[in-house]
Structure 1
Amino acid sequence: MRKSVLLFLLIPILSYSQIRFGITGTLQNSSVTKIHNKSSSRYAGSIGALAQIQLDNYYRFFIQPEVSYSLQGEKDKIKLSGKSTKAKFFQNYINIPVYFRAYFSEAESEFFSEIGPQLGILIYQKDKKLEKERYGSNPKNLDASISIGFGYSIFRKSEFFIRYNYGFIDIYDKFYRKQNTSILAFGFAYIFD
């Protein structure tokens, strides 16, 4: 019954909306906040796909779900066999954000802002044994975060943006203090007609 009601409510929105698809990629700086003093960020990137669902007649407001493969984590100084070395505590995620996007006007080339929640699913982890020894546990399989961004669209096709993402989940639950994922990303998207 609930599914039928939800479908009934979504039919007017989906029939009214125009949906466009695109690809996106970022260069990003990721880290885990408050984990330790000697860590350094991981510089990597992400690649993915998006959909833009129009919400109004004026081409200003959209819902933009995305799915991306994201390289995250950080480096930490540790001692192995009496020598100080940098360990790579890298995690790769499938991230699924859903943005509410607003363009500043109806112009084809225009600035925009966006905000939305993101679910991250851990699919790869480097140095599992070492990471567990260092932090008391391995990272959790799920991460939930909020993302905010700002950008510029050229003819509503080529878009450049900057985003900041902050996690709400305690990634290493056995570490002595709470820590969160943190990502600053510079990106590009191309939207197909």
Structure 2
Amino acid sequence: MSWGRSIAEYELARSLPRRWVHSEGVAARAETLAEIVGERAALIRSAAILHDVGYAPRLAVTGFHPLDGARFLRDEHRVDERVTRLVANHSFALLEAEERGLREVLEAEFPLLEDQLLVDALVYCDMTTTPDGEPTSARERVAEIVGRYGAESIVGRFIRRAEPEIHAAVTRVEAAMRNAQPR
């Protein structure tokens, strides 16, 4: 993951330090999931540290960070397709893409990964980490996002639509973690 950390740090640390701290927190959460994702642990760690790279000012072409980040990772760094697809679709980005009129573009360029556990794992990591990189509950995280962007903003509308799916994904990951623990 050092290559992913280097990319994310270069793009975010100076220009968007809070976004960088959040990304570091999301990556720390990903470390806790190694047991349930097995040999795919490196994929989730890479996607976690890189998930918000599209916010970097120099990469913000469409203004939709999942798409901008995934395109950057694919085109400039030739990152593994599974990682770019996770970044492009993290935390139910298809719903936000729909709000922005970009759903067809996102689906065509970066189809949703069929590995539900990896998709859920990245949702869990992102939606249980505060903007300051600290652990939180998904419910508190959704409320924080709505509060920061406003309920009627594109992000506010999207996150409220995605909320049931976010909670379901987090619940599935938490169940997998409980089942993986020795009894």
TM-score range (shorter-chain normalised) is: under 0.3
TM-score (structure 1 length as normaliser): 0.23
Q: Counting strand residues as a fraction of each chain, which structure ranks higher? A: 1
